[in-house]
Amino acid sequence: MKIKIVTLFPEMFQGFINESIVKRAIDKGNVEIECVDFRKYSHDKHHHVDDTPYGGGAGMVLRCDIIDECLNDIKTDKSHIILMTPQGKTYRQEDANRLSKEEELILVCGHYEGFDERIRDYVDEEISVGDFVLTGGEIPAMAISDSVIRLLDGAIKKESFEEDSFYSGLLEYPQYTRPISYKDCSVPFVLQNGDHEKIRKWRIKEALRKTYLRRPDLLENRNLTKEEKILLDEIISETNK
């Protein structure tokens, strides 16, 4: 996969690209990341990429002609272009799964007060990482890139992300490691006895319990298996005691 990040601040991505799972994925050839500074597409001597808004108002607005020229220069027939904006669709795990199947992503990072409305015509979709506003799209671009890269073949072990929160539609079950007991709080006995079937069932039930208590909205659209329905009924009964 190729990921091209269109940004005014490519230096912000150096730590992101050169650390942890992302770096290993790059080194393995799973992904190629290119940061494109769209300031170089400006045609005035001061390299301006923004201007004052028509109709008045505070702040500066990114120019559509500069973004258009940049995208025309870097996109291919395989590019899927995404605009980072708080007005976009809220990003979810299913979006990460979907985008991980693309051959090339272009992530456009807005900045300043906003962007010329005509820029929307040059992208395939708009994505928001939540109902809040940041100074630019760089952090969301990192978040989306990270969530996609870890799903690529060979980036991490498949079983590592298949049990992640949201991947299966549930929050992840509780995890424990040594010490077995700490400050009067011990690892659940079921995880110590080596009975894999009991462990499997415990993990499903605890994932359901955590989801029911913290994110019940996730259960509304989930087609529960027969086993999950029985376990969820048990959880509801235990909770209401």
Q: Which domains does the chain have, with CATH numbers?
A: 2-158 (3.40.1280.10), 163-239 (1.10.1270.20)
Local structure of 52: helix, strand or coil: coil
pLDDT of the residue at 108: 98
pLDDT of the residue at 156: 82
Q: What is the mean pLDDT of the chain?
A: 94
Count CB-CB contacts under 10 A for residue 154: 12
Residue with tokens 């999950």: 228
Q: Which of 102, 113, 126, 146 is catalytic?
A: 113
The verdict on whether 63 is a catalytic residue reads: no
Q: Which of 10, 116, 140, 150 is catalytic?
A: 150
> How confident is residue 241, by pLDDT bands cut at 50, 70 and 90?
confident
- Phi and psi at residue 115, in whole multiples of 5°? -135, 155
| Per-residue pLDDT reduced to its tens digit, 60-110 | 999 999 999 999 999 999 999 999 999 999 999 999 999 999 999 999 998
The verdict on whether 95 is a catalytic residue reads: no
Q: Percent of the chain, pLDDT > 90? A: 87
Contact 51, 177 (CB under 8 A): no
Q: Which of 37, 104, 126, 164 is catalytic?
A: 164
| Per-residue pLDDT reduced to its tens digit, 142-189 | 999 999 999 998 888 776 666 666 777 899 999 999 999 999 999 999
pLDDT of the residue at 111: 77
pLDDT of the residue at 58: 84
Local structure of 24: helix, strand or coil: helix
Q: Which of 10, 50, 86, 206 is catalytic?
A: 86
The verdict on whether 86 is a catalytic residue reads: yes
pTM above 0.85, yes or no: yes
Q: Tell me the three-class secondary structure of 39-69, residue by residue.
A: HHHCCCCCCCCEECCCCCCCCCEECHHHHHH
Q: Percent of the chain, pLDDT > 70? A: 96
Beta bridge partners of 51: 61
The verdict on whether 203 is a catalytic residue reads: no
179 preceded by a cis bond (ω within 30 of 0): yes
